[in-house]
Structures are given as C-alpha cells and as structure tokens.
Amino acid sequence: MTYKTEELMIAVIARLLNDPAVRHVAVGAASPIPGSAALLVRHLTEGRLRASIIHGVANNPFTDGGPEVFDCAGQGRIDVFFLGGVQIDGEANINLVGTGDYPNSDMRFPGSFGSAYIYFMVPRVILFREEHSRRVFVPKVDFISAPGWSPDNVHRPGGPYALITSLCIFMYDRARHRFRLDGLLPGATIEEVRDNTGFDFDCPDDVGMALPPEPDRLKIIRSRVAREIAETYPEFAAAKLGYQGDSAD
C-alpha cells in the first residue's frame, strides 16, 4: 500500500504517543504532522488520549492562550509537547531566536515564547523537524532559547524525549545529554543521517527501519484524522492527506 512521507511520519509519531502513561498531548502552532499523530492516537485509544492542538479553535480546549497552557503544564497535566527549532544541537539545546553571533544576529526569528518553560515542565518533549540538514542540526546552537539539560540542583521535571525528522528517529539519553539513533525511516541510511547531522550521536549496531503505516491506521489517517486536522490546517489535509471534504469513513 503506497503512502506519503507525511503519512509515514504521522504513524511513526503515533507509536511514540500510544503509551498508557501518556494521557494528554499538546501540540503548538504550525504542527500539522504531530497534530495528526495525536488525533490518530485519540481514535486508536477510543478517546483515552486527550489531544490539544493549540492553534485555531478546533481541538483547542484553551480559551486563554499561552497563560492557560503554561498553567496546565505547570500542574503536570500535559504529558507530551512538541517543540521545534531553527537550530538543534547534540545536547538537545534549541534555538528559536536567530542565527549568528547574538545580539548581532544574521537573521532574527519570532522568538522563544514559552518554549523554555514548556521544556522544563513537560515530562516528554518531542523535538520535530522535517528538514534534516546540517543547517538545522548543528554542533552548537548560536543561541540557547531552551536548554536540553540542566544541572542537578535545578528542579526540572521535564525535558527532551525524542527527535523526529524526515530521515530518522533519535531518542534522547538525559543522563548523558546525547541522542541515540533509534530507527531509520524507509529509504534512509545511517550514512545519510551522518552526512546531514552536524552533531555526534550514538549509533547501535542494530538500528532498524521504522515500520510503514499499518493499512487500518492509514485508512483512519486519510478519513477521520484528515477531516479533523482540516479544521485547523485545511491546505495540509488536502495536499498531504487527500482530504476533499466530508465523506463517509
């Protein structure tokens, strides 16, 4: 059964979320793939998982914006959150401010917003970037918007859990502050990952290939999930999931 890269990534992320310990997944703006994965798991678990897409109105339970999200995270009521970065390094530091020598940055971006707070408070933060290149995955970020780890005397219940890209799955070792290559997306090779990653990472001998989307899950992605994510990201649902409007599942 053929599938698109976006559908594969939705299935890969969904497997990380389909864990009884995960009760509430929150997804920020401009994240249609993680959002679709959360919605998929909500269907697979018959509503056990709470999926909050913090963008627009549909599937967004928060009425007070950022303050309500931060309050929810601070109370331990968000189990997984997704963050990205203009740059991400091997210690899971992320940069959302700009590239070049701060404050004289070559290029500035919107900024960190609440990423540092979320990074500290949510138990499992999954880093997500479709682009897998040395431009993104650098030896050391130019500016630390949110640190990947903190000294032992800092209270930090949260932190990085995994990094998902269009090439592979990295898992994060919090004790060693390093990523470990955990799986390859179909078509990718270890050499390709190394060539496009600016930081060093652990690479076990038995790195396998991520499983393609199961046919039953692919059907749900293209029907129920596509319909729901279209309420927030209509262009994505149409172009990547083939959603053409309401139809029977």
Six token digits for residue 143: 């500016």
Output the pLDDT for position 113. 83
Instruction: Taking the CA atoms of 90, 95, 98 and 102 in sequence, report the sign of the dihedral they define.
Output: negative
Instruction: Compute the average pLDDT of residues 207-217.
Output: 96
- 5-241 placed in CATH 3.40.50.970: no
CA distance 183 to 231: 32
Sequence-separated (6 or more) residues with CB below 8 Å from residue 243: 222, 226, 227, 230, 234, 237
Give the domain ranges of the chain: 5-241
DSSP one-letter string for 200-247: --B--TT-EEPPPPPHHHHHHIIIIIHHHHTTT-HHHHHHHH---S--
For 141-173, how does the pLDDT look when each residue is reduced to its tens digit (9 = 90+)?
A: 999 999 999 999 999 999 999 999 999 999 999
Structure-token pair, residue 129: 């970037």
Checking if the pLDDT of 247 tops 80, the result is no
Answer whether residue 44 shows pLDDT above 80: yes
When the pLDDT of each residue in the chain is averaged and rounded to a whole number, the result is 94
Q: Residue 225: what are its φ and ψ, rounded to 5°?
A: -65, -45
Burial class (CB in 10 A: 0-12, 13-18, 19+), 198: middle
| Integer Rg of the chain from CA | 18
DSSP of the chain: ----HHHHHHHHHHHHH--TT--EEEE-SS-HHHHHHHHHHHHHTTT-SEEEE-SSSTT---SS-HHHHHHHHHTT---EEEE--SEEETT--EE-SEESSTTS-SEE-S--TTHHHHHHH-SEEEEE-S--STTTEESS-SS-SB-S---TTS-----EEEEE-SSEEEEEETTTTEEEEEEE-TT--HHHHHHT-SS--B--TT-EEPPPPPHHHHHHIIIIIHHHHTTT-HHHHHHHH---S----
- Residues of the chain with pLDDT > 70, as a percent, come to 98
- State how far the Cα of 52 lies from the Cα of 28, in Å rounded to an integer: 9
Q: Pull the structure tokens for residue 93.
A: 């530091």
pLDDT value for 65: 74
Query: Both tokens of residue 11?
Result: 């299935």
> pTM higher than 0.75, yes or no?
yes
